[in-house]
Amino acid sequence: SAHVESDLVNILFTEEQIQAKIAEMARKIEADYDGEELLVVGVLKGAVMVMADMARALNRHVEMDWMAVSSYGSGTKSSGVVRILKDLDTDIQGRHVLIVDEIIDTGLTLSWLVSNLASRGPKSVAIATLLRKPDAVAMPVDVKYVGWDIPNEFVVGYGLDHNEKYRNMRDIGTLAPHVYS
Ligand code: PRP
Ligand code: MG
């Protein structure tokens, strides 16, 4: 491929595996929200790929909206301070909201986002994530749909970046330590 495979230790999930997993998650979501209106919210920028594929895998109407959030600076993510860079366009009061992200790492971003959105009076707020790292399993954040639990490695591709690179890889791979150390 055009991508630097020497930057990767291995391919963790291929495009085919990712699409099969998303289809599987989509069937559960269709069943759980049967007969209900659903707003799916993607978390920019990492969730762009999974949102595009999940929305098309869902054999039903959904509305799509986006949020962009950021922790203050790179070293302070553990502070749990998150700010909104781009808010929803829509009022979610009385609506079912499904937040879609590609990974939960520490769990801080999504736990903050869930409580932020919950304060707006939605009918429900739930999370769908393609990947979950071990630290997030310990967080008191309820994740309704998980694609895969993965080890605590530096993964890139399919929306996941290192310094804004690798997001457009079709597969998900483990980044070689020489790239980031
Ligand atoms: C990444 C990833 C998740 C979040 C998970 O986004 O896309 O949204 O971190 O990390 P956490 O569970 O430790 O909070 P990031 O904030 O790096 O921005 P990006 O989506 O634009 O890459
Ligand atoms: Mg993100």
Average pLDDT over residues 141-150: 95
CA of 90 to the centre of ligand 1 (A): 22
Domain CATH number, residue 123 = 3.40.50.2020
pTM: 0.94
Task: Decide: 42 in ligand 1 pocket, CB within 6 A.
Answer: no
Residue 57 lies in a domain: yes
Provide the CB-side half-sphere exposure for 169 (13 A, CA).
25
H-helix or E-strand containing 111?
A: helix 108-118
- Identify the H or E element spanning 103: strand 96-104
- In this structure, is residue 100 part of a structural domain? yes
pLDDT in tens, 62-82: 999 999 999 765 555 566 689
Mean pLDDT of 161-181: 95
Catalytic residue among 89, 105, 142, 149: 105
What atom of ligand 1 comes closest to residue 102's alpha carbon? 7
32 is catalytic: no
pLDDT tens-digit profile of 97-140?
Answer: 999 999 999 999 999 999 999 999 999 999 999 999 998 887 88
Residue 11 maps to a domain? no
Q: What is the pLDDT of residues 19-67, one digit of tens each?
A: 999 999 999 999 999 999 999 999 999 999 999 999 999 999 999 999 9
Whole-number Å distance, alpha carbon 46 to ligand 1 midpoint, is: 7
Asked if residue 1 belongs to a domain, the reply is no
In a domain, 10, yes or no: no
What range defines the domain where residue 140 resides? 16-150
- Residue 160 domain flag: no
Ligand 1 atom 3 nearest Cα: 103
Report which protein residue has its CA nearest ligand 1's atom 16.
70
Report the nearest atom of ligand 1 relative to the CA of 167. Answer: 22
Atom from ligand 1 closest to the CA of residue 46: 20
Kindly state if the Cβ of 92 falls inside 6 Å of ligand 1.
Answer: no
Let me know if residue 25 belongs to a domain: yes
Q: How far apart are CA 17 and CA 87, in angstroms?
A: 32
Contact assessment for residue 139 and residue 111, using Cβ atoms and an 8 Å cutoff: yes
What is the total count of domains within the chain?
1
Question: For residue 2, is pLDDT > 60?
Answer: no
pLDDT score recorded for residue 94: 98
Q: Is residue 30 part of a domain?
A: yes
- The predicted pLDDT at position 137 comes to 81
